[in-house]
Amino acid sequence: MPDFVLAPPAIASVAVAGWAERFAVRRIFCVGRNYAAHARELGNDERDPPFFFTKPADAVVDSGAVIPYPPLTANLHHEIELVVAIGEAGFRIPRAEALAHVWGYGVGVDLTRRDLQDQAKKAARPWDWSKAFDLSAPCGPLIPVAKSGHPEKGRIWLAINGEVRQDGDLAELIWPIADVVSICSEAVELQPGDLIFTGTPAGVGAVQPGDRITGGVDGVGAIEVTIGQPQR
Ligand code: MN
């Protein structure tokens, strides 16, 4: 280990259900759109190939957190997503081998400053400020593949203050998990610790300070976070 001029930052990590050990997070990749009904609700062609954006590893935050309403937005949106946790490195992974690189799964919320995203799209600017802000990637406890298997179908849902807003099924994924992992690995060499948020079903919408977000994926797990007052 080299010496550092400042203390190295803490390693970002996610809880593992039923384990004391945590899953160290290396990078966070997110699929831009992956459910036909959500692609349509945002006015996009559902046949487009998947594309990716990223969030910093330390955007991840555990289930149970209170997340201050972020700056620069008046339209913070929730997007419930199945999260894939990569356990084995791979570059240009063939589709048929892709699932062997998955360590486990989780349930995440891709928090999005939708107004900044709309501005970025119009101006053909990067999405970073709309997607990659502090605490923008809450993720519930991971479940290892040995327990969950590789989910192909199952309800994926999100509620605000107990009222269901997003209600889909993994069977609606335009690009199933193996495709997402394989296609992502064409752009980068995937590494243990990488998380992939796999896209959100229809029903995205705004959240306000004080809102309690709950969600889950059948057979995978659940998440619960509260949106707090803006940081002062
Ligand atoms: Mn998303």
- Distance between Cα 54 and ligand 1 center (Å): 10
- Sign (positive/negative) of CA torsion 169, 47, 175, 117? negative
With respect to residue 3, please indicate whether it lies within any of the assigned structural domains: no
- Distance between Cα 53 and ligand 1 center (Å): 9
Q: How far apart are CA 34 and CA 179, in angstroms?
A: 11
With respect to residue 4, please indicate whether it lies within any of the assigned structural domains: no
- Distance between Cα 199 and ligand 1 center (Å): 5
CATH number at residue 133: 3.90.850.10
With respect to residue 128, please indicate whether it lies within any of the assigned structural domains: yes
Query: Percent of the chain, pLDDT > 70?
Result: 99
With respect to residue 42, please indicate whether it lies within any of the assigned structural domains: yes
- Distance between Cα 229 and ligand 1 center (Å): 23
**Contact in structure between 111 and 72 (CB atoms under 8 Å):** no
With respect to residue 6, please indicate whether it lies within any of the assigned structural domains: no
- Distance between Cα 205 and ligand 1 center (Å): 12
Instruction: Give the pLDDT band of residue 36 (cuts 50, 70, 90).
Output: confident
- Distance between Cα 151 and ligand 1 center (Å): 18
Residue 96 has a pLDDT of 98
- Distance between Cα 145 and ligand 1 center (Å): 22
Buried b (16+ CB within 10 A) or exposed e, 31-42: bebbbbebbeee
Q: Could you list which residues have their CB under 5 Å from ion ligand 1? A: 79, 110, 200
- Distance between Cα 125 and ligand 1 center (Å): 18
**Mean per-residue pLDDT of the chain:** 96
In which domain, by residue range, is 130 found?
A: 13-228
What is the number of structural domains in the chain?
A: 1
- Distance between Cα 110 and ligand 1 center (Å): 5
With respect to residue 24, please indicate whether it lies within any of the assigned structural domains: yes
* Helix, strand, or coil (residue 169): strand
Beta strands in the chain (DSSP E): 13-14, 23-24, 28-31, 52-55, 60-62, 66-68, 76-78, 80-86, 102-109, 112-113, 137-139, 143-144, 155-160, 163-169, 195-197, 205-206, 212-217, 221-228
pLDDT digits (tens, 9 = 90+) for 139-168: 999 999 999 999 999 999 999 999 999 999
- Distance between Cα 108 and ligand 1 center (Å): 9
- Distance between Cα 6 and ligand 1 center (Å): 34
pTM of the model: 0.96
Buried b (16+ CB within 10 A) or exposed e, 113-130: bbbbbeebeeeeeebeeb
pLDDT digits (tens, 9 = 90+) for 38-82: 777 877 766 678 899 999 999 999 999 999 999 999 999 999 999
- Distance between Cα 111 and ligand 1 center (Å): 8
pLDDT digits (tens, 9 = 90+) for 117-143: 999 999 999 999 999 999 999 999 999
- Distance between Cα 81 and ligand 1 center (Å): 7
